[in-house]
Amino acid sequence: MEFINEELLNYCQEHTSPEDELLAKINRETHAKVLMPRMLSGPLQGKTLELFTKMLQPKVILEIGTYTGYSALWMAKGLGPEGKIITLDINDELEDMVRGYFSESGLGHKIDYRLGNALDLIPELEGKFDMVFIDADKKNYSKYYDMVIDRVPAGGMILADNVLWSGKVLKKEGEKIDKDTKAIKVFNEMVNKDPRVENVIFPIRDGIMLARKL
pLDDT (mean) for 196-200: 98
With a pLDDT cut of 90, the percent of the chain lying above it is 89
CA distance 140 to 117: 11
The answer to whether residue 147 sits within a structural domain is yes
Instruction: Give the pLDDT confidence score for residue 4 in this predicted structure.
Output: 75
CA distance 102 to 22: 10
Instruction: Give the pLDDT confidence score for residue 3 in this predicted structure.
Output: 67
First to last CA, the chain: 31
The answer to whether residue 57 sits within a structural domain is yes
Q: How far is the CA of 24 from the CAs of 35, 47, 50, 68, in angstroms?
A: 18, 12, 15, 12
pLDDT (mean) for 75-94: 97
**144, 75 contact by CB (below 8 A):** no
**6, 46 contact by CB (below 8 A):** no
The answer to whether residue 1 sits within a structural domain is no
| Domain residue limits at 54 | 6-165+172-213
Q: How far is the CA of 31 from the CAs of 6, 62, 123, 211, in angstroms?
A: 19, 25, 33, 30
Number of compact structural domains in the chain: 1
Q: How confident is the model at residue 122 (pLDDT cuts 50, 70, 90)?
A: very high
The answer to whether residue 111 sits within a structural domain is yes
The answer to whether residue 132 sits within a structural domain is yes
The answer to whether residue 37 sits within a structural domain is yes
The answer to whether residue 91 sits within a structural domain is yes
162 Rama sector, left if φ>0, alpha if ψ -120 to 50, beta otherwise: left
Q: Lowest-confidence range among 10-14, 64-68, 94-98, 132-136?
A: 10-14
DSSP states along 159-170: EEE-SSGGGGGG
Instruction: Give the pLDDT confidence score for residue 41 in this predicted structure.
Output: 87
Q: Is the dihedral of CA 48, 19, 97, 56 positive or negative?
A: negative
The answer to whether residue 105 sits within a structural domain is yes
Q: What is the CATH number of the domain that holds 16?
A: 3.40.50.150
From the list 118, 131, 151, 37, the residue with the least C-alpha distance to 78 is 131
Q: How confident is the model at residue 74 (pLDDT cuts 50, 70, 90)?
A: very high
From the list 79, 21, 16, 66, the residue with the least C-alpha distance to 39 is 66
Instruction: Give CA angle at 43 (103, 130), nearest 5°.
Output: 70
Predicted model pTM = 0.96
